[in-house]
Amino acid sequence: MKGSASVTLFQVLLIFTTMVQTQWSTVSSIYCKDMSPNVYRPHSVTITEFGAVGDGVTLNTKAFQNAIFYLNSFADKGGAQLFVPAGRWLTGSFNLISHLTLSLDKNAVIIGSPDSYHWPVIDPLPSYGRGRELPGKRHQSLIFGFNLTDVIITGANGSIDGQGAIWWGWFHDHTLNYTRPHLVELMYSTNIVISNLTFKNSPFWNIHPVYCSQVLVQHVTILAPLNSPNTDGVDPDSSTNVCINHCYVRNGDDVIVIKSGWDEYGISFAQPSSNISISNITGETRGGAGIAFGSEMSGGISEVWAEGLRIVNSLHGIRIKTAPGRGGYVKNVYISDVSMDNVSIAIRITGNYGEHPDDNYDRFALPVISNITIKDVVGANIGIAGILEGIQGDNFINICLTNVSLSVQSVHPWNCSLIEGYSNSVIPESCEQLRSNCRQTPVCYDGSSSSAMHVQKPRHMWSTSWLLNPLLKLASF
Ligand SMILES: *[C@@H]1O[C@H](CO)[C@@H](O)[C@H](O)[C@H]1NC(C)=O
Ligand SMILES: *[C@@H]1O[C@H](CO)[C@@H](O)[C@H](O)[C@H]1NC(C)=O
Ligand SMILES: *[C@@H]1O[C@H](CO)[C@@H](O)[C@H](O)[C@H]1NC(C)=O
Ligand SMILES: *[C@@H]1O[C@H](CO)[C@@H](O)[C@H](O)[C@H]1NC(C)=O
Ligand SMILES: *[C@@H]1O[C@H](CO)[C@@H](O)[C@H](O)[C@H]1NC(C)=O
Ligand SMILES: *[C@@H]1O[C@H](CO)[C@@H](O)[C@H](O)[C@H]1NC(C)=O
Ligand SMILES: *[C@@H]1O[C@H](CO)[C@@H](O)[C@H](O)[C@H]1NC(C)=O
Ligand SMILES: *[C@@H]1O[C@H](CO)[C@@H](O)[C@H](O)[C@H]1NC(C)=O
Ligand SMILES: *[C@@H]1O[C@H](CO)[C@@H](O)[C@H](O)[C@H]1NC(C)=O
Ligand SMILES: *[C@@H]1O[C@H](CO)[C@@H](O)[C@H](O)[C@H]1NC(C)=O
């Protein structure tokens, strides 16, 4: 009896693994379908034709602005390319247009001016209200797009360097007058590709698509000192159908972090992030997490699939951050195939993150955190396996851990409160909040509730929840 049961179990796991892999490779292509980094542009100009000098000293803001103004006349003729050859191109902030490819040659470096005057100020985001870092206006990002479609920012691994050190200094000295700028920000835009570039030393977050859809970020390297403040890698924010893959990030804050607005402003703006696919990411962060959600999540975050994360020498591996006042939700998140080495806290859910835009937030606006599945995780040199904390009166539910094997230093590997869920094959043994009652039917989120999954789901005689937790089901027989 025992022998045949374990053969069945093995077969079931095999079928399940194969099925999920097939499904997700389909889904990730559905999210970013029709997106190619290689769109042909019938017109091309080189930045030197507009008087730019790549000596690292001449300020080229006017050259970028003039070149892009000129290329606007080709927008309805198949679009155009702005080519940046090898050299060091100092510039202030400039705006992109639709149907544009900004292409950097190998050894081309776009350098952000160290003079804050060259980064104009613009209104704060509506979903953040008073402004994220300081109340009021914020500096426009170095490369900025508003209301665009069909934009490609690419290159033969050329780089974009924000010279962030000066901004980090102003931040530490409290001499900033406005919220710091990003390296790249696109607002209200669609069909965006950012690929084959290195982003360095962003003053604040590196790549920030906000109120966007159809965004593909791939083959990107992001570097900032491990102690630099708020230098997040990629921040999909109130955006849908975003794919991030094949990236290497080494920075001071979260490697990849999904957001959707802040407290009462995010709740009323109500623009969720959903359909986010993340794969093959290697990250190292001293202050953040390899993959994070929030803390700004008031517009809601759902349908997130992440696979193939390698997280080393970091504070956190996987993290959800929220607080009373946020409202919104983080649900239907499926994370698998994660390896960690030398990570202080492998998995963390924080219900009391704090940080409010002002005193007008609604203390009774509680976030819904549910359907979070984390599976196939191995970790070496882990400090603590998990700190999972919900909110009083607002338990976080359906938190599922499957096949998680961590080599942990702490004698108290898990610390859980106000959460509920399931676990299966977790080493060290998970906290009792995740040890489900055999009589309940375990319903771990398996990635299949998005509409894409309903379309793609192979017909099957068993329910996937049965497959996801065969041990519990067998135990209840
Ligand atoms: C945004 O684009 C739409 C159509 O593409 C246009 O009607 C609208 O005026 C634009 N808004 C701004 C602020 O540019
Ligand atoms: C791109 O350049 C960075 C350094 O700027 C380097 O670390 C990375 O390996 C390069 N990537 C590729 C694909 O050559
Ligand atoms: C902030 O404003 C003050 C007064 O105008 C100015 O001296 C200072 O340089 C500004 N700080 C930054 C970082 O631009
Ligand atoms: C981007 O880099 C990848 C991996 O190095 C390479 O396969 C791809 O052809 C590059 N794409 C472009 C547009 O250069
Ligand atoms: C993962 O991405 C890295 C770039 O960060 C790339 O060199 C590597 O080939 C990718 N691996 C797979 C399996 O696609
Ligand atoms: C482990 O990571 C920490 C930072 O979180 C770093 O200071 C330390 O050097 C790393 N240890 C090893 C052996 O790489
Ligand atoms: C458990 O996870 C590890 C690491 O991702 C993976 O290699 C292994 O195949 C998984 N085991 C099962 C039974 O899925
Ligand atoms: C667990 O976390 C709580 C705070 O949430 C703390 O008071 C308690 O000491 C922790 N327990 C252990 C064993 O670390
Ligand atoms: C949670 O996941 C289950 C199983 O995949 C699904 O049936 C249910 O609708 C999900 N819940 C929500 C709130 O989406
Ligand atoms: C999410 O993806 C599915 C499948 O492609 C699609 O049907 C759905 O409209 C997408 N949701 C959003 C908000 O774009």
pLDDT, tens digit, 9 for 90 and up, residues 210-257: 999 999 999 999 999 999 999 999 999 999 999 999 999 999 999 999
219 dihedral zone (left: phi>0; alpha: psi -120 to 50; beta): left
Q: What is the per-residue pLDDT across 67-91, written as a single tens digit (0 to 9) for each?
A: 999 999 999 999 999 999 999 999 9
Lowest-pLDDT range of 198-212, 435-449, 452-466: 452-466
Q: Which atom of ligand 8 is nearest to the CA of 415?
A: 1
In this structure, which residue's CA is closest to atom 7 in ligand 6? 313
Local structure of residue 147 (DSSP, 8 states): S
Q: How confident is the model at residue 335 (pLDDT cuts 50, 70, 90)?
A: very high
Q: Is 116 exposed, middle or buried (0-12, 13-18, 19+ CB in 10 A)?
A: buried
pLDDT mean across residues, the chain: 89
Site to probe by mutation for ligand 3, drawn from 116, 177, 204 as the one with most ligand atoms within 8 Å of Cβ, is: 177
Contact present, 292 and 270 (Cβ < 8 Å): no
Ligand 2 centroid–CA 182 distance in Å is 21
Residue 274 tokens, joined? 């959903």
Residue 416 tokens, joined? 């859980």
Residue scoring higher pLDDT (448 or 470): 448
In this structure, which residue's CA is closest to atom 3 in ligand 6? 313
pLDDT for 442 equals 65
Q: Where are the domains of the chain?
A: 88-462
pLDDT for 476 equals 31
Active site residues: 253
Site to probe by mutation for ligand 5, drawn from 217, 218, 234, 246 as the one with most ligand atoms within 8 Å of Cβ, is: 246
Q: How confident is the model at residue 441 (pLDDT cuts 50, 70, 90)?
A: low
Share of the chain above pLDDT 90, in %: 83
Ligand 5 centroid–CA 219 distance in Å is 8
Q: Which residues pair with 282 in a beta bridge?
A: 248, 310
Considering every ligand atom, which ligand is closest to the CA of 444? Answer: 9
Is it the case that residue 10 has pLDDT exceeding 90? no
Report which of 8, 16, 3 is spatially closest to residue 464, judged by C-alpha positions. 16
Quote the Cα angle for 443-448-453, to 5°. 165
Considering every ligand atom, which ligand is closest to the CA of 18? Answer: 7
Is it the case that residue 460 has pLDDT exceeding 80? no
Amino acid letter, 135: P
Q: What is the per-residue pLDDT across 349-364, written as a single tens digit (0 to 9) for each?
A: 999 999 999 999 999 9
Question: How would you label 160-181 residue by residue, b for 16+ Cβ within 10 Å and e otherwise?
Answer: bbbbbebbbeebeeeebebbbb
Whole-prediction pTM: 0.90
CATH topology of domain 88-462: Pectate Lyase C-like (2.160.20)
Q: What is the per-residue pLDDT across 395-418, written as a single tens digit (0 to 9) for each?
A: 999 999 999 999 999 999 999 999
Report which of 198, 27, 188 is spatially closest to residue 98, judged by C-alpha positions. 188
Considering every ligand atom, which ligand is closest to the CA of 349? Answer: 8
Write the CB contacts of 427 (distance below 8 Å, at least 6 apart in sequence): 404, 405, 406
Report which of 230, 61, 59 is spatially closest to residue 133, judged by C-alpha positions. 230
Q: Which residues pair with 144 in a beta bridge?
A: 95, 185
CA distance 438 to 477: 9
Q: Which residues pair with 43 in a beta bridge?
A: 80
In this structure, which residue's CA is closest to atom 13 in ligand 3? 176
pLDDT for 464 equals 39
CA distance 226 to 444: 35
Quote the Cα angle for 209-215-219, to 5°. 100
Q: Which atom of ligand 2 is nearest to the CA of 200?
A: 5
Please give the C-alpha separations between residue 331 and each of 49, 167, 320, in angstroms, as whole numbers.
Answer: 50, 35, 11
In this structure, which residue's CA is closest to atom 1 in ligand 8? 415
Query: What is the mean pLDDT of the segment spanning 107-111?
Result: 98
Query: What is the mean pLDDT of the segment spanning 157-179?
Result: 98
pLDDT for 34 equals 75
Residue scoring higher pLDDT (2 or 345): 345
Query: What is the mean pLDDT of the segment spanning 305-328?
Result: 98
CA distance 280 to 307: 7
Q: Which atom of ligand 5 is nearest to the CA of 221?
A: 5
Q: How confident is the model at residue 27 (pLDDT cuts 50, 70, 90)?
A: low
Contact present, 202 and 238 (Cβ < 8 Å): no
Write the CB contacts of 307 (distance below 8 Å, at least 6 apart in sequence): 24, 278, 279, 280, 335, 336, 337
In this structure, which residue's CA is closest to atom 4 in ligand 4? 219
Local structure of residue 55 (DSSP, 8 states): E
Q: Quick check: CB of 13 below 6 Å from ligand 7?
A: yes
pLDDT for 302 equals 98
pLDDT for 38 equals 79
Q: How confident is the model at residue 12 (pLDDT cuts 50, 70, 90)?
A: very low
Query: What is the mean pLDDT of the segment spanning 165-181?
Result: 98
Please give the C-alpha separations between residue 169 and each of 37, 131, 180, 190, 464, in angstroms, as whole numbers.
Answer: 36, 20, 11, 34, 52
Local structure of residue 287 (DSSP, 8 states): S
Amino acid letter, 77: K
Q: What is the per-residue pLDDT across 118-164, written as a single tens digit (0 to 9) for each?
A: 999 999 999 999 999 999 999 999 999 999 999 999 999 999 999 99
Q: Which atom of ligand 6 is nearest to the CA of 314?
A: 5
**CA quadruple 278, 403, 26, 421: dihedral sign:** negative
In this structure, which residue's CA is closest to atom 1 in ligand 6? 313
Query: What is the mean pLDDT of the segment spanning 283-302?
Result: 98
**In terms of DSSP bridges, do strands 108-112 and 121-122 run parallel, antiparallel, or are they unpaired?**
unpaired
Ligand 9 binding residues, C-beta < 6 A: 331-332, 370-371, 443, 445-446, 448-449
Q: How confident is the model at residue 28 (pLDDT cuts 50, 70, 90)?
A: low
Write the CB contacts of 370 (distance below 8 Å, at least 6 apart in sequence): 329, 331, 396, 397, 398
User: Looking at 156-268, which runs of residues are DSSP E strands?
Assistant: 158-161, 184-187, 190-200, 207-210, 213-223, 240-251, 256-258
245 CB neighbour count, 10 Å cutoff: 19
Ligand 10 binding residues, C-beta < 6 A: 30, 240-241, 274-275, 450-452
pLDDT for 366 equals 98
Query: What is the mean pLDDT of the segment spanning 305-332?
Result: 98
45 CB neighbour count, 10 Å cutoff: 16
Considering every ligand atom, which ligand is closest to the CA of 338? Answer: 7
**Helix or strand or coil: residue 431?**
coil
